[in-house]
Structure 1
């Protein structure tokens, strides 16, 4: 895996679950990591502390996404923190933060719920990227966390897959636009993964068995499975990969 020493990364939604795993892995590879969180300051500080205990460098940045002024809040906090490290630019931008209002088929999904998912999953990554492009070094990396639900019909609702599909289009379109700067843009499709948010559902033996049965590799994913793939895309080893959607699902719903 490539060495990220001297690189600066921002990972949104990095206080828990997959985002935390990504932040820890990028820091392990040498990057200075901005651990973004929306509300759970305690969890974000725990992530940064775990990185420091492992010999890495990280700081926390707060901004609730999907609300007015979210990009201003995030970039102001990022700029202030980077300044304290003698930095003013970033090399890696990982859009991991997302909102999934589950159990909402088209018959009952409300405009307010739909707008909220679009605001967090599409609008925030779009305009945060727009704001950070002048701060993103040439040769940098943008990695968008997508979902298996864009290729396999979801039993949990239609709104979330729609937003992740939009994020995929954003990825390959932006890849072409930023190619002249040597910036790669890719998305990572995530499937069934053990996190604190899925723990209760996967604690049901019947649900766990069903989920495993849907996955070609015969198990539920773990956070490092996702984080390792993101770290690869962030590294120089992936320098010739852009505009791609990397399926990191263990073959879910094939």
Structure 2
């Protein structure tokens, strides 16, 4: 197994793409997979995922934490280290994110901007900062972007800006952390993936994406959790040691970049 004894943190891991990533890491032998969730409605999903990982013979630990809370990153790291009696961390997947309201430029509010940027950008920065304080040599950081970062889709101004920022941060951190920690930092840029977040993106955006899905070269459909999780898994393995500062576009050919 490629990740034997590795300790991983996945933010937003109870459902959707995050859940797929947690299972992919566990199936490759990650000794500890700590994952976060925020809402009470996700509690049963988190508990079920812990049981599923345990059934594979590995350990998982669910941490309820709101990424908008500035104390959350240190809390997540501290609880992970304590729960599994470890002193270093190997893998961070910054998956937690929120979509925007699907509003045109003239309708964007300060509240929408703050919510999206706090979760999709600020939380990624400070979660990574907290992780790096305990990173093991050769650690892996994977950030989740979106095809929206490059697609120029109407009604997606704030979300697009947040994911473009994540791609920029990925390149900066690859430069900053490579020699110092032997770490790689990459991003995965999914196209539409059939998750709760995708279905809640707004009627206008959803209709547009469904039309786009029909034209996707790899297959006329939205992506699945596993389509993305398998790529994240590779970027967490030793096999990806010569890949850093990169953005892998997991969109089935919807967009060639």
TM-score by length of structure 1 reads 0.91
**Contact 1:62–1:77, Cα closer than 8 Å, also in 2:** no
Residue of structure 1 equivalent to 2:119: 120
1:212 offset after TM fit, Å?
A: 2.1
Root mean square deviation of aligned Cα: 2.1
Q: Establish whether residue 167 from structure 1 lines up as the match of residue 169 from structure 2.
A: no
1:151 offset after TM fit, Å?
A: 1.2
SS in 1 for 2:101: coil
Residue of structure 1 equivalent to 2:76: 74
1:50–1:115: structure 2 CA closer, same or farther, 3 Å change rule? same
1:176–1:207: structure 2 CA closer, same or farther, 3 Å change rule? closer
Residue of structure 1 equivalent to 2:15: 16
Matches within 5 A, 1:81-230: 81-83=83-85, 87-180=86-179, 181-198=181-198, 210-218=211-219, 219-230=221-232
| Alignment length (residue pairs) | 248
1:52–1:156: structure 2 CA closer, same or farther, 3 Å change rule? farther
1:199–1:101: structure 2 CA closer, same or farther, 3 Å change rule? closer
1:232 offset after TM fit, Å?
A: 0.3
2:193 and 2:84 map into 1 onto residues whose CA distance is 32
SS in 2 for 1:97: coil
**Contact 2:99–2:197, Cα closer than 8 Å, also in 1:** no
Choose from 221, 226, 244 the match for 1:242: 244
SS in 2 for 1:107: helix
2:209 and 2:115 map into 1 onto residues whose CA distance is 29
1:206 offset after TM fit, Å?
A: 7.3
1:118 offset after TM fit, Å?
A: 0.8
1:157–1:206: structure 2 CA closer, same or farther, 3 Å change rule? closer
1:155–1:206: structure 2 CA closer, same or farther, 3 Å change rule? closer
1:97–1:137: structure 2 CA closer, same or farther, 3 Å change rule? same
Structure 2 unmatched runs, 5+: none
1:200 offset after TM fit, Å?
A: 7.5
> Runs of 4+ in structure 1 displaced over 3 angstroms?
196-201, 205-209
1:131–1:229: structure 2 CA closer, same or farther, 3 Å change rule? same
